[in-house]
Amino acid sequence: MVNLNSFLILSAVMFAIGLFGALSKRNAVAILMSIEIMLNAVNITMVAFASAFIGKSDAAGVAVGSRLTGQIFAIFIITVAAAEAAVALAIIIGIYRRISTVDVGHINLMKW
């Protein structure tokens, strides 16, 4: 049986894999890709919750399920992720142009 928990567990595993990549990869582009995996994992939970709530009402009788909060959230996340990807890649290219590397092990400007 595939209930809500199945999706949540899938999402948690994907998130952890993406996080591992984000924390351990040296290539900045690879880190970006890992972050995209994390965002997708979150999106899956969002949509899964939305599906689980369809047809449900809250204590006051408002049909919250019909508002599809999870799906709307997913859409916004995708929007933001697209923007983030564009800006992040621009930053990566900018850094590459400046110091000829995208290895985050060589980028420690945050010290100052």
Partner 1 sequence: MPFDLASIVFYFIAIVLVGASLAVVLMRNIVHAALALALVFGAAAGVYVLLNAEFIAIVQILIYAGAVTVLVLFSIMLTQGAATRAGSPFSGQWWLAGLICVILCAGVIYAAASSQMALTTAGGSVNLASAPAQDGGSPVKIGQLLYSPFNYSYVLPFEIASVLLLVAIVGAIVIAREE
Partner 2 sequence: MDIFSNPVQYAWIVAALPLAALVINFFGFRMLDVLTRPKEVVAQADPHAAHGEATDAHGGEQNPATIDAHDEQAHGGHDDEHGAATGFWASVVGWIAFGAMLLAFIYACLIGAQFLGNTELQSKGVTLHIYDWFNFGKLAYTIDFHVDALTVVMLVVVTAVSMLVHLYSMGYMAGDRGYSRFFIELSLFTFSMLLLVLGANFLVLFIGWELVGLSSYLLIGFFFNQAKPPEGSEVPWPPPAQLKAFVTTRLGDFGFLIGILLLWVTTGTFNFTDLNFNTKTSATGLTVVLATTAMILVFCGAVGKSAQFPLHVWLPDAMAGPTPVSALIHAATMVAAGVYLVARLFPLYATVAGPESLQVVGYVGAFTAIFAATIALTQTDIKGVLAYSTISQLGYMFAGLAVAENNTVGIFHLFTHAFFKALLFLGAGSVIHALHDNGIGAQNLRNMGGLARWLPITAFTMLMANLAISGIPPFSGFFSKDLILATAYERGYMPIYYILLFTAFLTAFYMFRLFFLAFGGRGGAIGGLWGGEYRGIGQPHESPWVMTLPLILLAIPTVVAGFLSVNNDFANFLTGGEITTPYVSPFTETLTWVSVGVAAVGILLAWAMYGLEILPAKAFTGNPIGAPIYRLLKNRYYIDELYGLIIKYVVLGLSQGFYLFDKYIIDGIVNGIGRFVRGLGFVTRRSESGFVQNYGAVLFGGALLLMIAVFFAVGVFR
Interface with partner 2 by CB under 8 A: which residues? 19, 22-24, 31, 104-105, 107-112
Q: 47 is written with which tokens?
A: 């949509």
Count of other CB atoms within 10 angstroms of residue 57: 12
Q: Binder to partner 1 among 50, 60, 110, 112 (CB under 8 A)?
A: 50
Q: Which does 111 bind (CB under 5 to 8 A by kind): partner 2, partner 1, none?
A: partner 2
Total of residues contacting partner 1 (CB under 8 A): 79
Task: Report the chain's C-alpha Rg in angstroms.
Answer: 18
Residue 75 lies near partner 1 (rule: CB under 8 A) = yes
Residue 90 lies near partner 1 (rule: CB under 8 A) = yes
| Rounded Cα gap, residues 62 and 84, in angstroms | 35
CB 18 to partner 2: min, Å: 11
The 3-state DSSP class for residue 27 equals strand
